[in-house]
Every structure is written in structure tokens, then in C-alpha cells.
Amino acid sequence: MITGATRILAIIGDPIGQVRAPRVWTGLFRQNGIDAVCIPMQVSRAGLAAFLEGAKALRNFAGLIVTIPHKPAALSYVAHPSARAKLVGAVNVLRLEPDGEWAGDIVDGVGFVEGLRARGHGVEGRRALVVGAGGAGTAIAFALVDARAAEVTVFDVASDRAADVARRLRSTGARAQAASAADAAGYDLVVNATPLGIRPEDPLPVDLERVARATVVADAVVYPHITPLLAAARERGCAIQPGAHMMDGQVALQAKFFRFESGAWSPEAIAKVAA
Amino acid sequence: MITGATRILAIIGDPIGQVRAPRVWTGLFRQNGIDAVCIPMQVSRAGLAAFLEGAKALRNFAGLIVTIPHKPAALSYVAHPSARAKLVGAVNVLRLEPDGEWAGDIVDGVGFVEGLRARGHGVEGRRALVVGAGGAGTAIAFALVDARAAEVTVFDVASDRAADVARRLRSTGARAQAASAADAAGYDLVVNATPLGIRPEDPLPVDLERVARATVVADAVVYPHITPLLAAARERGCAIQPGAHMMDGQVALQAKFFRFESGAWSPEAIAKVAA
């Protein structure tokens, strides 16, 4: 039941119909006995700046989750970005600070790593290939470095983008490089951070011909739950990590950012809500 | 269940905790099989202009209900006000037009009249006293004129405000005047449009000493449901009209404004939701 006293968490993106956050968060709020709901807000690219300025007036909002295509652009309107948001060049959570300005962080990369850990896949000492050097790929690459991956290799069809991310990763002291092909051979962890796999006719984003059985193959694509890449990896005997776990892995981090102190926000809690 | 595809109706005001709209509208949407919810948005006075500018970017909003203290101020940001909104000098519903600008109307006065009609109280040919010449009183006075009241008398402790509203009413060709006292004697319909009655210690806003039994006494105050004024009027044998009916009477008008074509929005439908 929504009343005048209900607090609001919103997710902004365009398109918005496909996002899971309203269902997951509203379910978690109910499960945790918190009088709050999560609503979708379809904000056009052209309207983002004015929207973020106007939304500073909202006194009963816990904050905003930011999704495609606004993650990089929203950073420009954040007076208090986290160090990680500045490194990645994007934000995916915003909250108002007492000075009336936005604080922003990006937790999807960290959420990806948390999601791996929750399913028993460590990152420390592993050699990782990240395919796709856009917002999601960049956030994941930085989070892998932060979680002490031995080496992070980045591939993008736009090779200059991959080279740029690799250079920024190295600037933090990490071992990182750009690859000339998306070939899974020789990696402990392979991550698809491109949109390939959303449409049934998409080609596989990674060549699995020579993938090792011990390699964990992960996808940042949420729908379908098992992408063609993950299906192919499973056939080859690899452990797979669907994109939903990246989402689930960041919920607890987001809850903390939005200052929901108590409550269960774990993948187990989410599973109960989703069921 | 809220999903990414759920449409949003919001009510903006400050404070916001007390508003009924989120419960009533969300209940009606569910009852009517419409995938939408109504949420509260606490918008500060200082932030209104920026908020209304930024909210033009919202593509999945049915519109905004505007409540205290924003009804008069919001009019300034409406490119397409209704003739009635211009007359009253305030809006209480906003929607985005195809040109990306706000259209605004004020339906609380009309809702008041609809609420009276729904309970068998006609307005045509009646002599009405409206006590309080603020936003609500002005809207009610104009709606009474529109519903062919024989004469509308306005009282306000600030006599210049009452005189101003009476002058504006007369400019539409109506019979209207300002009164020097809030005395119920001689009227067919008496309306309290001041906030008096919200706090238990408030004095009665209208002198009922010489009220006729045939007089209908109405209140725009929603809480308490039976104000001291209504209780006193009932004791004197008058028919009474609680403020909730003014709210309920405008829901169908608002639904039409927000372009919800189908569905039941009547006081009977609302009663089912509230029960």
C-alpha cells in the first residue's frame, strides 16, 4: 500500500520498461518492513540535465538508480562523486547530500564481483578478459582490478576504446592490456560486457573454440537469463555466471549507499522476492 | 506489483505525508486493471520551478496532482492553462502535452460541486456563502458560479482578498459580493474553505447561530472527517458535506484530464478502495 508517507527510490533510464529494479526493490522493501517503493522513471537523454537539477527538490526520495543510457552523462551533474565513479567515468547511484547536491557512486562493477563471490568464484589472482569497453565493461574491469585480479585484458571492436580503458587501469598500478581479439583461450574468467546476446540473431561476443573447462564465463546481459554465450560455455563444461547475479550482487551496496541501515539485501533475500 | 512498465501518477506538495491520493489512486488503478501507481513527491517551495522544468523529461508519467502550497505558484510554469485555471489563478492537475510543455487545470472547485451533486445537493439557484478566499475558496466560488448558483458571497478575514475574489466573480457576469462577517444566516449553502477545523483548538470558521435547517453546510477540510463545524451543523439539523466528498468528486475529472479513458472513478469505486 502506497501512502503519502511512503518513501521513493527511482530508477532512471530510457527505455525503462525492461528494468528489474522496481520489482526487486519494492519486494525487498516490503520483505524488510520498510515503507518505500521503487518506481521507474523514463528520462530522455535530452532531458537528463534539467531532470537532475529539478530532482534536487525531492525531499522524500531515498535516491536514484541510474541505468542506460545515463550512467556516463549523469557524472557531470554530481558534485560529490566517489573516487571509483571518477575512475570509471560514470555513476549508477545518486543520493542528495545535506548541501542539496548529488553524491554519486558506481557499484555495478563491484556488484559483478560480489555476484561472482556469492556463487563461489574468486577473482584474486585470476586472469580476466573483459569484452566490451563501454560503461559496464569499464566498471567491471576496474572492479576486477580492485578485487586483485592478476591481470585484466580488455577487448572492444573499437580498439582505441579498449586501449584507453587499459591505459586507465594501468594508471592505478594494475596489470592490464588491450586485446586484438575476443578469444577466451588462456583466461580464468571471461566476461561479456557488450549488449550482444539480447537479440536472438546476435553473434557470440566471444570465441569459445579454445576455452578451458576451468574458465568461468560470465555475462552482463540480464535478459535472456541464459544468453547464447552462456549456453555455449555450459556445453563446453565451463561454470557460467548469468547477468542477473551482477544485479543481485550490487543491491546490498546500493542499499547502503541509499542509507537503508537495516534489512536483508542479499541474493538469498532477492531470490525470495523474485520467486 | 510495480515493474519497469508501470506508469506513474505523482502528487506534489509540502508537507506530503498526509495526502490521500497515493492510496486512493493506486487502489483505483488496481481495481480498474491499469498498470499504474500514484506516488507522493515532497517538493519544496524553493524547488518548484526547477522541479517542474526537470519533470518535463519524464516520459512514463501520466501527470502530476498539485497540492498545498504549490497550486497558485505552479500556474506560472504552465504553458497551456485552462480558462478556469486562469480565472482561479491556480492549477491542481498538470500533464505534459505533445509539445513538451505543461497543460494545467484546476478541478477541486468542480470536484466540490460534483461531490455535492453525488449526495443529492444541487447548486443551481442556491445562495452560497464561501468562507475563505484562498486557493480552495476561490476555486469553489468559481465552480459554484459555473454551476449556476443564484449568488455567491465570499468572506475572508482579509477583507480585501474577499473583495478581490467577488470582483473577479462578477467579471464573469455572476452575482457575487464580499461579506463583512461569516454568518450562515440566509444562505442555502455554506462552505468552509479555510483550514479552521484541522486543529482541535481552532474556533468555528462560521457563525451557525441563525443557520436555517434547510442549509447545507460543507467543509473543504478533509481531516478530521467530521470537523467541529460539521458536528455543530448536524446538531442543528443541517445536511452536512465532509471535505472527503470534494476529493472524491474530482477524481473522475482528474482521471479524464490524465487521459485514463476507461475504468470506474466514481465515489462508489473510491469507497471500495478506501474500505
* CATH number (domain holding residue B41): 3.40.50.10860
CA distance A241 to A218: 4
- Regarding whether A178 and A95 lie in a shared domain, the answer is no
If DSSP codes are grouped into helix, strand and coil, which group holds residue B202? Answer: coil
Residue A235 CB contacts under 8 Å (≥ 6 apart), including other chains: none
Distance CA A237, CA A27 (A): 35
Q: Pick from B1, B2, B273 the residue to mutate for testing the A interface (most A CBs within 10 Å).
A: B2
- Report yes or no: A21 at the B interface, CB cutoff 8 Å: yes
- Residues of B within 8 A of A60 (CB-CB) are 16, 40-42
B22 touches chain A (CB under 8 A): yes
For residue B240, the cross-strand partners are B217
Which region, left, alpha or beta, applies to residue B206 given φ > 0 means left and ψ of -120 to 50 means alpha?
beta
User: Which amino acid does the sequence have at B182?
Assistant: A
Q: Are residues B140 and B94 in the same domain?
A: no
- Residue A39 and residue B38: Cβ atoms within 8 Å? no
Q: At what angle do helices B267-274 and B21-31 cross, to 10 degrees?
A: 100
Residue A2 within any structural domain of the chain: no
For chain A, the C-alpha Rg in angstroms (whole number) is 18
ipTM score here?
Answer: 0.90
pLDDT score of A274: 77
B71 is catalytic: yes
Q: Is the pLDDT of residue A192 over 80?
A: yes
* % pLDDT > 90, chain A: 93
Q: What is the CATH number of the domain that holds A232?
A: 3.40.50.720
Q: Does residue A1 fall inside a structural domain? A: no
Q: In this predicted model, what pLDDT tens digit does every residue of A256-273 receive, in sequence order?
A: 999 998 899 998 999 999
| Mean pLDDT in residue range A234-238 | 98
Domain range spanning residue A85?
7-106+246-274
Partner residues linked to A41 by β-bridges: A12
**Tens of pLDDT, residues A135-181:** 889 999 999 999 999 999 999 999 999 999 999 999 999 999 999 99
Contact residues on chain B for A70, CB-CB shorter than 8 A: none
Residue B60's pLDDT is: 98
Question: Would you say A111 and A247 are in contact if contact means Cβ atoms under 8 Å apart?
Answer: yes
Judge if A49 and A161 occupy the same domain: no
Tens digit of each residue's pLDDT, chain B (275 residues):
899 999 999 999 999 998 999 999 999 999 999 999 999 999 999 999 999 999 999 999 999 999 989 999 999 999 999 999 999 999 999 999 999 999 999 999 999 999 999 999 999 999 999 999 988 899 999 999 999 999 999 999 999 999 999 999 999 999 999 999 999 999 999 999 999 998 999 999 999 999 999 999 999 998 899 999 999 999 999 999 999 999 999 999 999 999 998 899 998 999 999 77
Chain B residues inside the 8 Å CB shell of A94: none
From edge to edge, which strands make up the β-sheet containing A61-66? A36-42, A7-13, A61-66, A93-96, A102-105, A80-81
User: pLDDT tens across A20-43, in order?
Assistant: 999 999 999 999 999 999 999 999
- Chain A residues within an 8 Å CB radius of B38: 2
Across the interface, whether the CB atoms of B50 and A47 are under 8 A apart is answered no
Q: B83 touching A, CB under 8 A?
A: no
Q: Both A28 and A115 in a single domain?
A: no
Cβ-based contacts of B47 with chain A (< 8 Å): 54, 56-58
Closest chain A residue to B46 measured between Cα atoms? Answer: A57
SS (H, E, C) chain A: CCCCCCEEEEEEECCCCCCCHHHHHHHHHHHCCCCEEEEEEEECCCCHHHHHHHHHHECCEEEEEECCCCHHHHHHHCCEECHHHHHHCCCCEEEECCCCCEEEECCHHHHHHHHHHHCCCCCCCCEEEEECCCHHHHHHHHHHHHCCCCEEEEECCCHHHHHHHHHHHHCCCCCEEECCCCECCCCCEEEECCCCCCCCCCCCCCECCCCCCCCEEEECCCCCCCCHHHHHHHHCCCEEECCHHHHHHHHHHHHHHCCCCCCCCCHHHHHHHHC
Is the residue at B2 inside a domain?
no
Residues B231 and B121 occupy one common structural domain? yes
Q: Which of A2, A48, A59 sits opposite B38 (nearest CB)?
A: A2
Bridge partners for A217 per DSSP = A190, A240
Catalytic residue among B56, B71, B256, B272: B71
Catalytic residues of A, by residue number, are 71
Closest CA in chain B for residue A10: B4
- What is the pLDDT at residue A68? 87
Q: Do the chains contact at A3 and B55, CB–CB below 8 Å?
A: no
Q: What is the pLDDT of residue B223?
A: 86
Does B166 fall in a domain? yes
**What are A50-86's pLDDT values in tens digits?**
999 999 999 999 999 999 899 999 999 999 999 999 9
User: Is B47 at the interface with chain A, CB within 8 A?
Assistant: yes
Separation of alpha carbons B67 and A130, rounded Å: 50
* Residue B1 belongs to a domain: no
Q: Minimal Cα–Cα distance from B86 to chain A, Å?
A: 25
Are residue A229 and residue A133 in the same domain, yes or no? yes
Say yes or no: B83 and B124 in one domain.
no
The verdict on A26 touching B (C-beta cutoff 8 Å) is: yes
| Residue B203 DSSP class | P
Tell me the one-letter amino acid at B271. A
**Residue B73 exposure: Cα atoms within 13 Å on the Cβ side:** 18
Q: What's the confidence (pLDDT) of residue B68?
A: 87
pLDDT at A194 over 80: yes
- A265 and A229 in a common domain: no
Is the predicted pLDDT of residue A18 greater than 90, yes or no? no
Q: Say whether B9 sits in a helix, a strand or coil.
A: strand
Q: Is the CB of residue B175 less than 8 Å away from at least one CB of chain A? A: no
Q: How far apart are CA A85 and CA A104, in angstroms?
A: 7
Q: What angle do CA A219, A225, A231 make, to 5 degrees?
A: 70
Indicate whether A126 belongs to any domain: yes
| Mean pLDDT over the full length of chain A | 96
Same domain, B235 and B136: yes
C-alpha cell recorded at residue A4: 503519502
pLDDT for the residue B261: 83
The answer to whether the Cβ–Cβ distance between A23 and B3 falls below 8 Å is yes
Q: A213 with A96, same domain? A: no
What does the pLDDT read at residue A223? 87
Q: Do residues A186 and A199 both lie within one domain?
A: yes
Higher pLDDT, A275 or B134: B134
